Amino acid sequence: MNKLQTIWIAFFLLLVGVAYAEEPVLLLFAGSKHDKFLGCLNCNKYDSSSIWNKYGEYGSKYNSDSIWNKYGTYGSKYNSESPWNKYSSDGPVIVDKDGNFYGHFTRNKYNNQTKIKWLVWILDNYEYVMENFDEVRDKLL
């Protein structure tokens, strides 16, 4: 890991530490009616609904519906429903348990992208996050 990556990770962890203390549980939904649950964004890595649980349904890079499966609908940078497609207008939405909307979890900055800083960091650095999933997850959680 180079010095710049180390600085980014340190900055990211600072943002996450502050964010986790203040945020409600953030849920990710996709589909035209936002009825396809893709996981919990800020649940711990042992939670079965967490996108950070690599053995769970939503965090596994092998599950076809996981955002971490680069060959799946929601993990491909080419699919219009994937958060990783920077041209998508159909990216997943972020809501809390009460239905409050926190923007889209999408790399498309022009499609009501979330303003939550640590999520924007993940979106902006998604290739690094995908290549270093365990490291990022372990430092994040």
* pLDDT tens digits along 101-110: 999 999 999 9
Q: In what order do the strands lie in the sheet with 101-104?
A: 36-40, 27-30, 93-95, 101-104
Angle (nearest 5°) at CA 135 between 24 and 56: 60
pLDDT tens digits for range 109-131: 999 999 999 999 999 999 999 99
> What span, in angstroms and rounded, lies between the C-alpha atoms of 95 and 48?
18
pLDDT tens digits for range 39-87: 999 999 999 999 999 999 999 999 999 999 999 999 999 999 999 999 9
Q: Which residue range(s) make up the domain with 119? A: 3-140
By the 8 A CB rule, do 71 and 79 touch? no
What is the number of structural domains in the chain?
Answer: 1
Percent of the chain's residues with pLDDT above 90: 76
Q: What is the mean pLDDT of the chain?
A: 89
Sequence-ordered strand ranges (E) for the chain: 27-30, 36-40, 93-95, 101-104
- Crossing angle, helix 3-22 and helix 117-124, to 10 degrees? 150
31's CB contacts (< 8 A; 6+ apart) are: 81
74's CB contacts (< 8 A; 6+ apart) are: 30, 38, 65, 66, 67, 81, 82, 83, 92
